[in-house]
Amino acid sequence: MIQFIIKRLFSTVFILWGVVTIIFLLSHLVPVDPVTMMLGERYDQAVYEQLRHSYGFDQPLWQQYINYMWQLLHGDFGKSYHYIERPVADILRSGVPISLQLGGLAILLELIIGIPSGVLSAIKQNTWIDRMNMGVMMILYSVPNFVLIPICMLVFGVQLRWLPVAGWGSAPHMVMPVAVYTALGTAFYARLTRSTMLEVMREDYIRTARSKGLPERMVIYGHALRNALIPLVSALSPSLAFIVTGAFIIESMFNIPGIGYIAIQASQMNDYPVVAALTLILAVAVALMNMIADILYTVIDPRIRL
């Protein structure tokens, strides 16, 4: 296990180095000049040269690359182009906890609602309960966020005045965004749980368990669900990784100052240092989550060894 973790961390470092390099090259090869954007519509050659120099853009590319890597090794993401003179780390620090709250709460709810309803559907396969349950889930799964959000805002915010339509902080603020975030995931996990449960229920060991005279509840929760969870774990790890980067559409539309919201703004403003830092954070999160998922497999299924 320890050996596995060390190996995995070692390869992760290489992957991150590749990611950073790709980001660096992309952000320097795009045809948009950040200094032009900083100056805006009023162009002045002297001011342009001065700013280029102060950001080090007048150095050769390899030199800039080395500087950037050196900064990163010291945990310094550099300074934002758009938020004048503001360290990127500062900008991200305010967003990460908010995205974690939103995403964490939503994923918890997804699992609490999604898995039991999937199990229920699997047990009651092809009854009206199953059909209704899956029908609802299908709708939740197929309505895109950018359609669902304005409808929710109009109904619960503008018409009924039950909930605020923007912001973050108090409980009423959280209800709508968390509900929308949860809708899609719940449907996904319910459908996934149903199909994996059905598959597992046909296995020999379930028949064995039943013939041993185990109560049905034990069969389902002790034997079937435990094995059905394996695909869930692999599905869960990327979604856990992505909560670090926030939910782009939800955060933007509900005006929630999380990382997704910051990312959209940064990409629109060509604020590459922020975009680069975000991508790096996501890469780290995905790598870590995959590692955790691999460790979890061994816990769920003793046949898997690392």
Partnered with residue 87 across adjacent β-strands are 79
87 DSSP assignment: B
For another protein, give the closer residue by CB, 168 or 189. Answer: 168
Q: Which is nearer to another protein, 144 or 213 (CB)?
A: 144
Q: Which stretch binds another protein (CB under 8 A): 59-67, 82-90, 104-112, 115-123?
A: 82-90
| Minimum CB distance to another protein smaller for 119 or for 293 | 293
Smallest separation (angstroms) from another protein to the CB of 278: 7
Q: Which two tokens mark 225? A: 């669900």
302/282 Cα distance (integer angstroms): 30
- The Cα 93–Cα 72 span in angstroms is 16
Give the end-to-end CA distance of the chain in Å, rounded to a whole number: 6
Residue in 215, 213, 216, 220 with CA at minimum distance from that of residue 194: 220
Q: What residues between 142 and 181 interact with another protein by CB under 8 A? A: 150, 153-154, 157-158, 161, 164-169
3-state secondary structure of 80: coil
Question: Least distance (Å) from another protein to the CB of residue 230?
Answer: 10
277 near another protein, judged by CB under 8 A:
no
- The answer to whether 294 contacts another protein (rule: CB under 8 A) is yes
Candidate residues 21, 94, 142, 208; the one interacting with another protein per rule CB under 8 A: 94
Q: Shortest gap between Cβ of 219 and another protein (angstroms)?
A: 27
Work out the burial of residue 306: count CB atoms within 10 Å of its CB; fewer than 13 is exposed, 13-18 middle, 19 or more buried: middle
Residues 37-56 that bind another protein (CB under 8 A): 37-47, 50-51, 54
Choices 10-18, 65-73, 111-119, 213-221; region in contact with another protein by CB under 8 A: 10-18
**21: Cβ–Cβ under 8 A, 6 or more apart, which residues?**
65
212-271: which residues touch another protein (CB under 8 A)?
Answer: 234, 238, 241, 245, 252-255, 257, 261-270
Helix, strand, coil percent values for the chain (each to nearest 5): 75, 0, 20
- Name which of 243 and 262 has its Cβ closer to another protein: 262
**Interface stretch with another protein, choices 78-86, 137-145, 182-190, 204-212 (CB under 8 A):** 78-86
Give the phi and the psi of residue 212 in degrees, each rounded to 5.
Answer: -70, -10
The reply on whether position 130 binds another protein by CB under 8 A is no
Shortest gap between Cβ of 72 and another protein (angstroms)? 16
Give the C-alpha separation, 260 to 60, whole Å: 32
The number of CA neighbours under 13 Å toward the Cβ of 161 is 0
Closest distance of CB 64 from another protein, Å = 17
Residue 73 or residue 160: which is nearer to another protein going by CB? 160
Closer by beta carbon to another protein, 95 or else 134: 95
| Size of the residue set binding another protein (CB under 8 A) | 83
Asked if residues 237 and 101 have their Cβ atoms less than 8 Å apart, the reply is no
